Chain A
Amino acid sequence: MKKGKIIRTAGPLVVASDCLGAKMYDMVKIGDIGLIGEIIELKEDRAFIQVYEDTTGIGPGEPVELTGKPLSVELGPGLISSVFDGIQRPLDVIKEKEGDFVKRGIEVPPLNREKKWDFKPFVKKGQKVEEGDFLGEVEETPLIKHRIMVPSGKNGTVSEIKKGEMLIEEVAAVIKNEENEHKIRLFQVWSIRKNRLVKKREMPEIPLVTGQRVLDTLFPLAKGGTACVPGPFGSGKTVVQHQLAKWSDAQIIVFVACGERGNEVADLLLSFPELKDPSTGRPLMERTVIIANTSNMPVAAREASIYTGMTIAEYFRDMGYSVALMADSSSRWAEALREISGRMEEMPGEEGYPAYLASRIAEFYERAGKVICLGSDNREGALSVIGAVSPPGGDLSDPVVQSTLKVVKVFWALDDKLANMRHFPAINWLNSYSLYAESIKDYWDKEIAEDFSEIRQEAMKLLEKESELQEIARLVGVESLSDQDRLVLESSKSIREDFLHQNAFHPQDTYTSLRNQYLMLRTIIHFHNSGLKALKEGINLENVLKSEIREKIAKMKFLEGKGDDPDVLDLFIEINNVFKELLKKKG
């Protein structure tokens, strides 16, 4: 293998000479201990290398081994339930080998080489297959069937197919065509910076149900869509991400903890095996892949971590799954870019970020989508991406936020004022938006209730009206408002407190099905409309507001049971009775 020589070391950046022949983004091994790095710039025979590990003790004169291969991930059985660092080294294996602290220069294969998988073939000898076709599957966890696909560019006829227990490195099938004979193993290798191929892209139209009322009802994300959660620290960004990872109805979750806190990752690692998947009752970990590159782990590996996660997510999407990728936080990734760029003495753009920041962010989010996967069965897969952004001081004019907003379709604006009032999730209902609300309207109205979008619209209108009225009330006092307006204030307060406010740590409140969200909101809106009618009939506001039914509305969210909740339905009729009663009394 060709070798270069180090001529400079400055933190995560190493410069080596004698590197003619090396390609951009090739992986290299640095120094006598073999740290992993990636070439990010070439100048004559010099290569600029970002190193994924701490470079203390590395100096000029040491060798650089050029592998000639791009930085890649291994894709195959064993991914699910794993916890990797930014360049796909399994952290549990590192712990076993090296103890409680992460040391440098460790080489461990990403996927377990010793584990045997029970391979069930789908194809027969002599069958013609094209790229993306399923050759067979292994049951990776009780939740996930891992399909073994024909790698891209390996069309042909199956000349050999195996069955039964095997290691991932064993040949499971052989595909022959005119020029070549391809040995297919249970895993394939893919460069992290290259999109995985698809047949066709489609428009996202089905909502990703998260059980979080403010998200699902007001600002929905479609399967295959992109969302961004910016917010100042302490506004509950991470809790929102965790809730999504726990409750969203994606089949596979890839969670990239990118430059975040170690204890948060520990929380994920300890709680996911205990948490149950709401639909199957199995541990959530059985559908989750975690990439953990905490803030104190090497900064260059942080840069790579979101691509590692993205490539793994795309791989599962290719099997026809609905996958959700959470990146927490893309600001830390951008800072890693900035740090490396600074060390390379590149001309900085805004706030010291490199000029290519916006295009890198756009490229990243564009890897999301609903697609027709490769393969003759034309199956659908979806990859939704939710990126958290941590703008300095919560300032949304930050370049990372602005570049992200240009590409994502859903914006969940976290608000520290709401967080201070302990209104969680602290998503501001006036500033947030979702561009998918239109395209998934059909789904709601067909699958949930025909007046879903109508009721949603009414709720949004009430909240909008509330903010106007509050302005007025602030200037002239609440007393000067008309009874109708005061009812609007009361009803929107009820929407805020009884519907939008959701306690992630309360066993019943933490998840609400789409159907129940509809029922809850309809109850609140129904009370409002009945109230308005009653006011018109001459009943005074105090009597409307005094009704005990309002306490029941406030408790809806704590009711037990999932699916259609008869208690909530009952309120609808109860409200009718209450108002009949009021009218009778007056009558």
Chain B
Amino acid sequence: MHKEYLTVTNIVGPLVIVEKIVDVKYGELVEIASPGGQLRRGTVLDVSTERAVVQVFEGTTGLDIDKSSIRFLGGSQTLAVSEEIVGRIFDGSGNPKDGGPKIIAKKRRDINGSPINPQARDYPSEFIQTGISSIDGMNSLVRGQKLPIFSGSGLPHARIAAQIARQSKVLGKKEKFAVVFGAMGITFEEANFFIEDFRDTGALERSVIFLNLANEPPIERIATPRLALTCAEFLAFDLDMHVLVVLVDYTFYAEALREISAARKEIPGRRGYPGYLYTDLASMYERAGRIKDKPGSITYIPILTMPEDDKTHPIADLTGYITEGQIMLSRELHRKGIYPPIDVLPSLSRLKDKGIGEGKTREDHADVLNQLFACYASGKEARELALILGEAALSDMDKIYMEFAEKYEDKFVRQGEHESRSITDTLDIGWDLLRLVPKGELKRIRPEFLDKYYSIEK
């Protein structure tokens, strides 16, 4: 039986400080009983011979100094996993929320996981066709990649994420596929959008959902993504499934982390976020990937909203340094009414090079995407120039590029929410656009591909 302590001395924000403790370990799971007898969970953040600092997942509302009691449970927080977990909905602490029974644990997994040995990693190189041209064509996603969506408030990141989850497939293959969706601090409406969309397309049966909504304790958010990823690891590496993990919204997660850090009176880093934000985010993002000789994979799409659309904000910035690229949404395109408003220039997929080309997509893919990038960048530059000097001042070439940029946004980027384009279609649209530009200007494309594709009209 675990000892029960009544020695709470301090309650600050989400933290409870307990004194006169014996044999408590760092990271240990804790059960806290409020004066009303209601049970909550927490974890040990700092322990010395005399006292322990405990972070309470469900928040400290209703706890008091003299009646609240604490038991240290030994071991850290775990998630019960089994095949039955697929198709279920849980709250942010991993308890069933869909009225179904508790999961009978086949295994219990530490939610913090262990780092994948770099030596065991396999390099992701299988192209995923999302059916969205500005992703497939320009910033291709591969299996085992972590590719975040950098969004802003009011931008349709949820619709894009749902579209990716709906349409994603690997060319020419039929395999076990699952979606793990985690919500951190988003509203009921947003979360419901995902669940309804999954339900409509039948994806719900092969999904696992973890929900921590805006009105639920922020501290729970620290555990939610870890639960989702622990579940994903089980599905991918024990059950050999291909798992797509979508987690929204990391901005709220980071804010919760900041709250704890402030309550502990830690020395803050940039914008008040703790100095270990990078390490903390990395410990989650890095759980995506592939392992040699294992068929499963974890592909990871975290979503975050950049405060004031500022990509140098610590959350976006640090994320960008850990993830393998980013899909950047643009308010400008959104205002123009273009869906999906993906701004391809600052977007990037670092792993695309091994996932595209002959035998994977098409031989000319790499050259076409480089050329499209270059032309679109020139076009946007010309557009800026025209704003300052007026269109009359543009050279003929500038005018061609400006037209290119317009058409590019209209034909290539713009597509329907339920339109799934094959990669060949995407590349053909690319060639249609490149034909607007004189052949001699297309320096990023190898001559043999120019000869093969430039002249043939669709």
Are A234 and B320 closer than 8 Å at their CB atoms? yes
Contacts of B278 in A (CB 8 A): 259, 295, 332, 335
Question: Pick the contact of B47 from A8, A294, A394, A554 — CB < 8 Å?
Answer: A8
Are B118 and A56 closer than 8 Å at their CB atoms? no
Are A95 and B120 closer than 8 Å at their CB atoms? yes
| Nearest A residue to B43, CB-CB | A56
Is there a chain B Cβ closer than 8 Å to A74's Cβ?
no
Question: Pick the contact of B291 from A61, A100, A352 — CB < 8 Å?
Answer: A100
Is there a chain A Cβ closer than 8 Å to B23's Cβ?
yes
Are B267 and A352 closer than 8 Å at their CB atoms? yes
* B13-35 vs A, Cβ < 8 Å mask (1 yes, 0 no): 00000000001111110000000
| Nearest B residue to A292, CB-CB | B118
Are B269 and A352 closer than 8 Å at their CB atoms? yes
Is there a chain B Cβ closer than 8 Å to A75's Cβ?
no
Contacts of B287 in A (CB 8 A): 296
Are A101 and B25 closer than 8 Å at their CB atoms? no
Question: Pick the contact of A263 from B76, B267, B324, B345 — CB < 8 Å?
Answer: B324
Query: In the complex, A198→B50 CA distance in Å?
Result: 50
Is there a chain A Cβ closer than 8 Å to B117's Cβ?
yes
Q: Nearest-CB distance from B135 to chain A (Å)?
A: 16
Task: Please provide the chain A residues from 376 to 411 with a CB less than 8 Å away from any CB of chain B in the complex.
Answer: 390, 392-395
Q: Nearest-CB distance from A571 to chain B (Å)?
A: 17
Count of A-B contacts judged by CB separation below 8 Å = 215
Contacts of B341 in A (CB 8 A): none
Are B312 and A395 closer than 8 Å at their CB atoms? yes
Contacts of B168 in A (CB 8 A): none
Segment of A182-190, A265-273, A448-456 engaged in the interface with chain B: A265-273
Are B116 and A100 closer than 8 Å at their CB atoms? yes
Known: A10-B46, A352-B268. A269 touches B322 (CB 8 A): no
Are B117 and A60 closer than 8 Å at their CB atoms? no
Is there a chain A Cβ closer than 8 Å to B234's Cβ?
no
Is there a chain A Cβ closer than 8 Å to B389's Cβ?
yes
Is there a chain A Cβ closer than 8 Å to B107's Cβ?
no
Q: Nearest-CB distance from A137 to chain B (Å)?
A: 28
Query: In the complex, A99→B317 CA distance in Å?
Result: 33
Is there a chain B Cβ closer than 8 Å to A342's Cβ?
yes
Are B275 and A342 closer than 8 Å at their CB atoms? yes
Is there a chain B Cβ closer than 8 Å to A420's Cβ?
yes
Is there a chain B Cβ closer than 8 Å to A59's Cβ?
yes
Query: In the complex, A420→B373 CA distance in Å?
Result: 8
Query: In the complex, A393→B314 CA distance in Å?
Result: 8
Are A7 and B324 closer than 8 Å at their CB atoms? no
Contacts of A7 in B (CB 8 A): 48-49
Contacts of B363 in A (CB 8 A): none
| Nearest B residue to A298, CB-CB | B115
Task: Please provide the chain A residues from 226 to 246 with a CB less than 8 Å away from any CB of chain B in the complex.
Answer: 232-234, 238
Contacts of A338 in B (CB 8 A): 269, 275
Is there a chain B Cβ closer than 8 Å to A141's Cβ?
no
Are A57 and B118 closer than 8 Å at their CB atoms? no
Task: Please provide the chain A residues from 345 to 402 with a CB less than 8 Å away from any CB of chain B in the complex.
Answer: 345, 348, 351-352, 390, 392-395
Known: A57-B26, A342-B266, A420-B346. A9 touches B47 (CB 8 A): yes
Q: Nearest-CB distance from B290 to chain A (Å)?
A: 8
Task: Please provide the chain B residues from 380 to 395 with a CB less than 8 Å away from any CB of chain A in the complex.
Answer: 385, 388-389, 393, 395
| Nearest B residue to A417, CB-CB | B377
Most buried by B among A8, A94, A233, A393: A233
Are A60 and B48 closer than 8 Å at their CB atoms? yes
Contacts of A8 in B (CB 8 A): 46-49
Are A558 and B446 closer than 8 Å at their CB atoms? yes
Contacts of A555 in B (CB 8 A): 447
Contacts of A416 in B (CB 8 A): 346
Contacts of B443 in A (CB 8 A): 497, 554
| Nearest B residue to A233, CB-CB | B320
Are B286 and A421 closer than 8 Å at their CB atoms? no
Are B322 and A57 closer than 8 Å at their CB atoms? no
Are B317 and A295 closer than 8 Å at their CB atoms? no
Contacts of B286 in A (CB 8 A): 261-262, 294-296
Most buried by B among A15, A338, A342: A342
Are B118 and A266 closer than 8 Å at their CB atoms? yes
Query: In the complex, A99→B120 CA distance in Å?
Result: 8
Are A57 and B28 closer than 8 Å at their CB atoms? yes
Task: Please provide the chain A residues from 84 to 116 with a CB less than 8 Å away from any CB of chain B in the complex.
Answer: 91-92, 94-95, 98-103
Query: In the complex, A243→B268 CA distance in Å?
Result: 37
Query: In the complex, A261→B318 CA distance in Å?
Result: 12
Are A259 and B282 closer than 8 Å at their CB atoms? yes
Are A61 and B48 closer than 8 Å at their CB atoms? no
| Nearest A residue to B323, CB-CB | A261
Contacts of B121 in A (CB 8 A): 262-263, 265-266, 269
Query: In the complex, A299→B150 CA distance in Å?
Result: 26
Task: Please provide the chain A residues from 37 to 67 with a CB less than 8 Å away from any CB of chain B in the complex.
Answer: 54-61
Are B76 and A234 closer than 8 Å at their CB atoms? no
Contacts of B447 in A (CB 8 A): 555
Is there a chain B Cβ closer than 8 Å to A422's Cβ?
yes
Task: Please provide the chain A residues from 1 to 20 with a CB less than 8 Å away from any CB of chain B in the complex.
Answer: 7-11, 15
Is there a chain B Cβ closer than 8 Å to A471's Cβ?
no
| Nearest B residue to A104, CB-CB | B114
Query: In the complex, A416→B345 CA distance in Å?
Result: 10
* B320-364 vs A, Cβ < 8 Å mask (1 yes, 0 no): 111011100000000000000000011010110110000000000
Question: Pick the contact of A95 from B27, B117, B237 — CB < 8 Å?
Answer: B117
Is there a chain B Cβ closer than 8 Å to A477's Cβ?
yes
Question: Pick the contact of A56 from B26, B124, B294, B385 — CB < 8 Å?
Answer: B26
Contacts of B75 in A (CB 8 A): 57
Are B353 and A335 closer than 8 Å at their CB atoms? no
Are A393 and B267 closer than 8 Å at their CB atoms? no
Is there a chain A Cβ closer than 8 Å to B201's Cβ?
no
Most buried by B among A234, A271, A478: A234
Is there a chain B Cβ closer than 8 Å to A83's Cβ?
yes
Are A295 and B322 closer than 8 Å at their CB atoms? yes
Are B291 and A421 closer than 8 Å at their CB atoms? no
Are B123 and A392 closer than 8 Å at their CB atoms? no
Are A267 and B279 closer than 8 Å at their CB atoms? no
Question: Pick the contact of B282 from A54, A295, A395 — CB < 8 Å?
Answer: A295
Is there a chain B Cβ closer than 8 Å to A474's Cβ?
yes
| Nearest A residue to B314, CB-CB | A392
Are B23 and A59 closer than 8 Å at their CB atoms? yes
Contacts of B28 in A (CB 8 A): 57, 59
* A292-326 vs B, Cβ < 8 Å mask (1 yes, 0 no): 10111101000000000000000000000000000
| Nearest A residue to B351, CB-CB | A263
Q: Nearest-CB distance from B168 to chain A (Å)?
A: 19
Are A60 and B49 closer than 8 Å at their CB atoms? yes
Are A477 and B48 closer than 8 Å at their CB atoms? no
Is there a chain A Cβ closer than 8 Å to B251's Cβ?
no
Q: Identify 21 residue pairs between A and B in the complex whose beta-carbon atoms are under 8 Å apart, listed by A's number.
A: A8-B47, A9-B46, A58-B26, A91-B118, A95-B120, A99-B117, A101-B115, A102-B115, A259-B278, A261-B324, A266-B121, A267-B123, A292-B118, A292-B119, A294-B282, A296-B282, A338-B269, A394-B312, A421-B373, A422-B377, A477-B393
Those 7 A-B pairs whose CB atoms lie nearest each other, nearest first: A393-B312, A56-B27, A295-B282, A59-B25, A296-B286, A8-B48, A266-B121
Known: A59-B24, A94-B117, A392-B314; 14 extra A-B contacts, CB below 8 A, are: A9-B46, A59-B47, A98-B117, A100-B120, A102-B116, A263-B289, A267-B123, A295-B285, A296-B279, A342-B266, A351-B270, A352-B268, A392-B317, A555-B447
- A-binding residues in B (CB < 8 A): 23-28, 45-49, 75-76, 112-124, 144-145, 237, 266-270, 274-276, 278-279, 282-283, 285-287, 289, 291-292, 294, 311-314, 317-318, 320-322, 324-326, 345-346, 348, 350-351, 353-354, 366, 370, 373-374, 377-378, 385, 388-389, 393, 395, 440, 443-444, 446-447
- B-binding residues in A (CB < 8 A): 7-11, 15, 54-61, 83, 91-92, 94-95, 98-103, 232-234, 238, 257, 259, 261-263, 265-267, 269-271, 292, 294-297, 299, 332, 335-336, 338-339, 342, 345, 348, 351-352, 390, 392-395, 416, 420-422, 474, 477-478, 497, 505, 551, 554-555, 558
